[in-house]
Structures are given as C-alpha cells and as structure tokens.
Structure 1
Amino acid sequence: MTETRIPSRVFPRAATEAETAKHGVSTPQTEHPAYKLAFQDMDFLLSEELRPVRFQLELLKPELLLDEAKIGSMMVFYGSARIPEPGVKSTNPDPQVAASLEAKSRYYDEARKLAALASTTPVDEAGMRHFVVCSGGGPSIMEAANRGALDVGAESVGLNIVLPHEQAPNEYVTPGLSFQFHYFALRKMHFLLRARAVAVFPGGFGTFDETFELLTLIQTGKIKPMPVIMFGKEFWHRVVNFDALAAEGVISAKDIELMTFVESAEEAWQVVQDFYAK
C-alpha cells in the first residue's frame, strides 16, 4: 500500500470559522444578533440560562492551563489581605487596629520564607512540579507567598476573584498562571483540587471561609487528609475557641487534630515533610 498522509482533522477549527464569519456579506439577516455564532454572542453567553456552561468554562480553563504547566500539586496559602509588609505602616485609620495589623507583619516574612522552601521541591520522574505555591493572587499574605516563590526563581499561581472594588493580581504571580474567577465556588475548588498542603495565616472572613470548608471536607471524608498548618496559635485560639466547640459536643476533640499550629516557616515545612514521609 502506498504511504499517504492522513489529515489530523477534517472540520475547520472554531477560530477559523469565527474569522470567516467576520467577513460575510451584510444583510438584515446577517446583522441580526440571532445570526451570530453562539460562542461569539456575549449576550447569549452571559444570559441566566447559560450559568451552568459558565461554571464549566471557569472550571475547565484553569484546569487545562495548570495541566499544560505540569503542575502536579500545590502548596496553598490562605491569609489576610490587610497585614502589611514589615516596615510598612497599616492604612487603617484606627491607631489601635493599625498597630495590631503591623504587629502581625512578621507573618508576611514567614509566608515568604515558607513559599521559598516549598518552591525548591524537585520535579518528579514524569516532569510534574509539586508543592507549587498558590495564593489568592492579592496583596499581603498572598503577595508574600508569590514573592517567596519568585525569590528562588520559581513560578507560582494566583487565583483572583472579581470584586466590586478594583483588585489586580500582585506583581509576583507568574503571568501565565494568573487566573480570574467570577464564582467563589469554582475558585475554592481550584484551591483544593491540587492542594497537598495548606498554610493558613491570620485572616478574616475570606480566610475563615476557605479554611473551615477545607476542615469540613477532611472531617467528613470528602477529601483525603493533608497538612493544614495554622500560623499563630495565640491568634487562632483567641478568635476561635476550638476547645469550647469540642466541649459543647459540636465537634470531636479529635477534629482539633486536623490542624497543626506553628510559628515559623521552617516548622511548617517540617510538618509537610513529616506528613508525607509517613
């Protein structure tokens, strides 16, 4: 049999068809919105009825790009967007609150150091990268995490969310791994799909939301256990009375063991190493 070249595809690509559609004839029919290709019709794509499709797209786009980047696992960082870098004054107008935030600036340094440690993890035999740093992409603790990865020449992930007030990714996120989400639920899913360790720094509602969802998933067996490392035992025990929850019977005493409290990056990284050494 004579050797022949078999084409890889017989249908044109959607991008090609979209370009062809731009240069069609102009008639009342072709100018009407109904004639637009479905994937180019923004009114259609943003309609209420297409919400399930938008969910799928927001799940799929980061997944494909993270696969392409050979990211096998991530070290996820949760924490406040308000704690300043050491030496930088808080913008909070209340002097007492500003002083409290500035006193927590050491956690910026610890997040940065931990991110650098995690980013030294070598690739595996298949070329997959592990414990790649991932943050919410914003300022403060999130910035420190991405910055720590960059300190050692490593790439890092940022998962930003559209908010009513202007928000941009911090300058240390790898541009090709910087994602923006509309749905909080999909963003939180991407935090955990590849997470193999999570470092939690002092934070507010957002940090609580992400952390307690993670703890619930582990507690209920929906995901496998992983290191959940809580920075600042004094802070966490002051703002959440875990022992009282156990005493009231709404959690078990063993559930408190899902978290490990630490004060330094070195201590946190040792927790991760010990967990996976087992």
Structure 2
Amino acid sequence: MSKETYNNEDERIQAGLTQKPWNEIRSNDSWAIFKIMSEFVNGFETMAKIGPCVSIFGSARTKPDDKYYLLTEEIAEKIANSGYGVITGGGPGIMEAGNKGASRGTAPSVGLNIELPFEQHFNPYISHNFNLNFDYFFVRKTMFVKYSQGFVVMPGGFGTLDEMFEAVTLIQTKKIARFPIILVGTEFWGGLMDWIKTVMIERYHNASPEDLNLVKLVDTADEVVEIIDKFYKKYSLSPNF
C-alpha cells in the first residue's frame, strides 16, 4: 500500500473532501490493518526482550547546549545505572539527550521513532536492535505505555503534552497501573499545574483534586531517581540487574 503525497496543504484538504466510492474507501482501510498489525507485532517482539523501562518525553527542538538537554543526559544516565532501560522517541533534542545519557549507563537505550512530514532520523545513541520506526502514532504510544514503568516528562511542545496527558488519563481511568509521572522543570511546568489546580479542578470541577497526586514536579536528576526507586521498593520490584 503506497502513501499518498501532496505538494501543499490545499491539495491534502482537497483530497480529503473528494468523494471516493465507498467500496474503495473500505478497501484502503482494510489493507491498512495489515500495516498496523505488522507495527504492533514488530514492536511487541522487540520490546518484550527488554526489562523494566522508564520513558523520557520532551522536545525534539532542544539544543545540545540547553540546560534541559544536559539535565536529561544526567537523568537518563542515573536511571540506566539504577538498572532501568530508557525509552525515548528516538529522534533529536531531548530524545537524543535521553538516549545519550542512557548509553553511558548499564541498561538498554531504546528509540521509538515516528515518520513525520519533516525529516527525523534516529539519533546515534540507541542500543543495537532497539530502534523501531512507526508510521502510526497510536501504535508508537502503545509501546511507550505498555513497556514503561515510569514516565519522565521534560519541557516540550504539543507532542510532549499529548504523551504526558495520555499517561495521566490511562492511570486516572485505571487502564494501566499507577506508575510515576514526573515533570522536570518547575519554571516550565509550574504554570500548567497551577492552571489545572485553580481552573480545571477548583473553578470548573472537571477533574478531582486527588488527580494532582498522579504527577510529581521536580527539578533535579536525583529527585527523579529517588521517586522511581521508591516506587519499585514499595512494590518489591527489581530493575534489570
């Protein structure tokens, strides 16, 4: 099944509005199932070889001299040396910093990349055979959630927010266990957390006050590792070694 390409956004919109025969639409949807299935199978078979992991989310735009890039390196190295594999989106920025730090540790450094309209290559710090490429965001997010026992969220954009709120929602609705979700950077995340508390919860009652307890807000690598280790000790779990 070939991908459709467009020269500009107008062509994409026009194609979406063009009426196609219903049987043609259904046929294309049916064939897409096999591509989706292959991504799930490849992802499951690869990720099942890895022990307990922590996912690190964050912006692809963060530069190597940025303080959060350097902090992500430190966090990932400490996590890996504590025995937990590190999973990132496999690309540049915070993802690269996560894999780079983890590669200096003693546990797997995993990259789950996504095909995007703008070019994004795997960063060079992913462990051998632990780099996966996806066309479908929802398959990729399944891999993040299914094989992570903790989530570290660095400053990022809309994609980072999507990944963070996905994890929060799944824990809130008890679809997955209550694994740690750690936001790193009070100056970046503090305003969002204040808005959730004062507007979403207190003014509009669209969430419960106890939902705030699902997320921890920290500023240092040691705080991140302490939260993860405390979680594992509470449930008598062991990392990779």
Tell me the TM-score normalized by structure 2.
0.81
Partner of 2:96: 143
SS of match in other structure, 2:129: helix
Aligned pair 1:245/2:200, yes or no?
Answer: yes
Amino acid at match of 1:214: A
Partner of 2:214: 258
In structure 1, runs of 5+ residues without a counterpart are 1-45, 87-104, 123-130
Return the offset for 1:233. Answer: 2.0
Amino acid at match of 1:267: E
Deviant stretches of 4+, over 6 Å = none
Aligned pair 1:171/2:124, yes or no?
Answer: yes
Amino acid at match of 2:201: A
Equivalent of residue 120 in structure 1, options 65, 71, 81:
81
Tell me the TM-score normalized by structure 1.
0.70
In structure 2, runs of 5+ residues without a counterpart are 1-26, 235-241
Aligned pair 1:63/2:44, yes or no?
Answer: yes
Aligned partners of 2:50 and 2:108 also within 8 Å: no
Report the count of equivalent residues: 205
Matched residues in 2 for 1:114 and 1:107: separation?
10
Amino acid at match of 2:158: F
From the CA coordinates, give the structure whose radius of gyration is larger.
Answer: 1
Aligned partners of 2:47 and 2:147 also within 8 Å: no
Aligned partners of 2:81 and 2:106 also within 8 Å: no
Aligned pair 1:76/2:60, yes or no?
Answer: no
Identical aligned pairs, as a percentage? 37
Greater alpha carbon shift after TM alignment, 164-173 vs 147-156? 147-156
Deviations 1:122-172 (A, max 9, x none): 4xxxxxxxx211000111111011000112354311000001111100111
Matched residues in 1 for 2:80 and 2:99: separation?
10
Matched residues in 1 for 2:169 and 2:69: separation?
27
Return the offset for 1:51. Answer: 1.5
Amino acid at match of 2:57: Y
